[in-house]
Amino acid sequence: MIKKPLLLMMLLFAFTATKAQDLINPSYGFSHNKTAYITLTDGTELSGTIRDIDRDKGLIEFIKLQDAAGKKHKLKPEDIKHMYLPPSGLDNLGKKLDFISDFKQWNDNQLNQEYIKEGYAYFETADVKIKKKTSKLLMQLLNPAFSKEIKIYCDPHAKETASLGVGGVKFVGGDAKSYYVAKKDSPAFLLKKKEYKKEFAPLWVGCDKLISSTPEPKWTDLTKHAITYSECAESK
């Protein structure tokens, strides 16, 4: 009889193999032992261990970091340009397994891909349009391997499709039903699964081969569409 930990691992490998070119899983829990790397808006670079993270409605409100010298820093989102946070537990393992594709020609050169490959969650301050208001928010990027042309951010309030678990314990989530999406320097906006067909042509305008070859766009092909769009943009 297969023991539960081994079964969990087998299922995790099987599940992530089908998502080899998909978005990485968002992280919600972070290690208090491994080093986090934070770059402030003024260019200052900090590294240290996370002491506390406070959230409001799923969004980070502040982070407490202790550096190697023992100095404590309390940082608000507006203080941070971008950061790499080390996930904890199975969350970290899942991210390492998910990130097995390397689309070098579409990488954002400003990202440290080595940190990403180690399973670090990448956050950056981005302009986000919520209803009619645009705000600067600290967003978790889910497509760091191909984010030069289009960025897909975690929606902390997103509902999910069916997830995978054992014994009633969920350990790998399903596909989110919404993401925040940004093209180049445009503000990110909320893209929902139920509205994807309507938003498809406006979102991917400029890539005729994608639009003409996809009469019935599927939400599950969002990553493939983003890669095809990146190919179009790269060829211009």
The ranges assigned to domains in the chain are 4-29+87-235
What pLDDT sits at residue 104?
A: 55
Selection from 145, 87, 90 nearest residue 120 by Cα: 87
Among 7-21, 90-104, 171-185, 202-216, which stretch is predicted with the lowest mean pLDDT? 7-21
Contact 30, 49 (CB under 8 A): no
Q: Which residue has the tokens 């030069």?
A: 148
Nearest residue to 181 via CA among 133, 129, 234: 129
The pLDDT confidence band at residue 22, using thresholds 50, 70 and 90, is confident
Residue 96 and residue 39 in contact, taking contact as beta carbons nearer than 8 Å: no
How far apart (Å, rounded) are the C-alpha atoms in residues 83 and 61?
14
The answer to whether the CB of 96 falls within 8 A of the CB of 114 is: no
Residue with tokens 């899983």: 25
In this structure, of 18-32, 135-149, 186-200, 220-234, the range with the lowest mean pLDDT score is 18-32
- Over residues 156-166, mean pLDDT: 69
Selection from 142, 160, 163 nearest residue 151 by Cα: 142
- Could you give the C-alpha distances from 18 to 21, 53, 65, 108, in angstroms and in order? 8, 32, 36, 25
pLDDT confidence tier of residue 5, bands split at 50, 70 and 90: low
- Of 70-84, 117-131, 159-173, 184-198, which gets the smallest average pLDDT? 159-173
Which residue type, as a one-letter code, is found at position 52?
D
Neighbours of 27 (CB within 10 A): 22
Q: Which residues contact 206 (CB under 8 A, 6 or more apart)?
A: 229, 232, 233
Assess contact for 143 and 223: CB atoms under 8 A.
yes
| Residue 92: per-residue pLDDT | 56
